[in-house]
Structure 1
Amino acid sequence: MIQTATQSLLPQSSTPSETEIIAYLHRSYQWAEIINAVELEAMILALCQEFGIEITDEEWQTAGDAFRLKHQLLGIQQTQAWLQQQRISLEEWSEGIKNQLLFTKLKEYLFGVQVDGYYLANRDHYRRVALSQILVRDLDQAIAIAQLLREQNASFCALAIEHSLGQQSQTNGGFMGIRYVSELAPEIAQAIKNVEVGVIIGPIQTQVGYHILRIEKWFPLKFNQSARERVLEACWQVWLKEQSS
């Protein structure tokens, strides 16, 4: 009875119109972001047309199969349910797969020959590191925590759970996972450079507060497909910045 009464108070939901969606994007300050994404996609497609970049049906099918496997869409019913949840058609999903493939080919076309040289010149950015941190707002508190770690061999895990503002570091006892150095804030990337495993670093100030860091493990440099994709994306971002300047 209570559940029925509560449900009766809720308005009947309906699919919003395009006008309502656009109005919401304006109100939530997301309109510029959407417009920029649309303009970027249009530019990418125009460049692909200019350079004669195309994809084959086989490439298209393979990419679609890989997407379904990644998202566990292993049957027609699962795929249809996912499309309904996303509120898109099969054709719209398929077109999105095609555009992503074209974007990948465009980056390879523009920067493929530069990848090895760029990687060698910036390979420190593509090192992977297992990192722990404690993040606090107050400098005095950060200094006190660093002293406890260095001078009294206090538990990094316990201090992170008690003091760290970062939800991930609180939950995991300070452990932030395995990251590429290029993913880190510049101040942190510079601070950990050439630091050995187990050394307490900081406090290091960034825009979000003061970080006390500890290197858990450095991983050997490996120029695999993941690293190559990151280099291509870095080249693309540099190129975009140059075009807009």
Structure 2
Amino acid sequence: MIDFAGTSLSAEDIVDCLRRNLQIRDVCQQIIYRSIIEQAAIEYQIEIAPEEIQSAADQMRYEMRLESAAQTLEWLSEQLISPQHWEQGIRDRLLLKKLQNSLFSKDVDRVFAPNRLDYEQVFIYRIQVPYRPLAQELLYQIEEGELSFYEAAHLYDVDEERRLRCGYDGRLGRWDFPPDIGSAVFGAAPNELLGPFPVGQSYDLLMVGGFLSAELNDETRGAILDRMFQEWLESEFIHFSYYQNHS
């Protein structure tokens, strides 16, 4: 039972909400993923010391400006979790990272070399609008010089924060786009206008600001590790499901 906003919510209420919002499968999958990670950590003799959990907790408190124990407890209460659950979550994340490095850190250089182009990045500008006719009209006006991309983003983008940035969406990698859009973006020239692309119930106009060549820095190394680990986890999940269904 969880008390929230003066209302008692049962486990059945929470599970029912997850089902109604099509989230129950993802939650169940994450539970099994955690079991796979725990079992692999035992196999590879990976452990997390209390001092590591404390250090990570202190870092989180610093980043979130939780300067006292009272502030930390208040924040935890707002998140509906106990200090014990918070520490358990920290321990789970540390265990995942240790296992990830144990399994794949030695393979990063080998993977990066032939897949260098996969880790290029682009500075991207985006205008997202709810209707295709509006996207087409904005495309026409920008191409004809009646309106700049930045003006159109500031006036029409559905995302308030991106409107304030005049469409700037950040530095993104190839894997941040669907395959067809990624191919178009990374094959474009700087300042080239692309789209409109259907994305969910909206339509995107994109403009490339420039490219960053791939380098095997900490960020790229982390991205490679994350990708390799996720592929391994999905493979282990398939084996787990097969074993459960045939045992």
Which residue does the alignment assign to 1:193?
A: 186
- Counterpart check, 1:88 vs 2:81: yes
Q: What letter is aligned with 1:181?
A: R
Q: Bigger CA drift: 167-176 or 114-123? A: 167-176
**Structure 1 125/74 Cα, relative in aligned 2: closer, same or farther at 3 Å?**
farther
Q: Supply the RMSD in Å over aligned alpha carbons.
A: 2.8
SS at match of 2:9: coil
Number of residues of Structure 1 aligned to a counterpart in Structure 2:
234
Distance 1:24 1:141 in 2: 35
Please give the residue correspondences for 1:1-245 in structure 2 after superposition, counting only pairs within 5 Å. 13-136=6-129, 142-152=135-145, 154-166=147-159, 168-205=161-198, 208=201, 210-243=203-236, 244=238
Question: For 1:143-190, what per-residue CA distance to the aligned partner results, in whole angstroms no more than 9, with x for missing partners?
Answer: 543343334363112223444455554443322122223212222211
CA distance in 2, matches of 1:199, 1:20: 49
Match of 1:196, SS? Answer: coil
Distance 1:120 1:178 in 2: 22
Letter in 2 for 1:21: I
Evaluate the alpha carbon distance shift between residue 208 and residue 234 of structure 1 in structure 2; reply closer, same or farther with a 3 A threshold. Answer: farther
Q: Distance in 2 between matches of 1:67 and 1:118?
A: 32
| Large movers: runs of 4+ above 6 Å | none
Return the alpha-carbon distance in structure 2 between the equivalents of residues 24 and 207 of structure 1. 22
TM-score, normalised to structure 1, is 0.80
Q: Is the 8 A contact 1:134 1:164 kept in 2?
A: yes
C-alpha distance in 2 between matches for 1:147 and 1:17 = 54
Tell me, what secondary structure is at the counterpart of 2:7? coil
| Cα separation, 1, equivalents of 2:118 and 2:200 | 21
Q: Which amino acid is the alignment partner of residue 76 of structure 2?
A: L
Checking the alignment, whether the CA contact within 8 Å between 1:135 and 1:166 is kept in structure 2 is yes
> Could you list the runs of 5+ residues in structure 1 that have no partner in the other structure?
1-11
Percentage of identical aligned residues:
26
1:79–1:231 Cα change, 3 Å: same
Separation in structure 2 between the aligned mates of residue 185 and residue 125 of structure 1, nearest angstrom: 13
Equivalents in 2 of 1:217, 1:234: separation in Å?
A: 25
Give the C-alpha shift of residue 42 in structure 1: 1.2
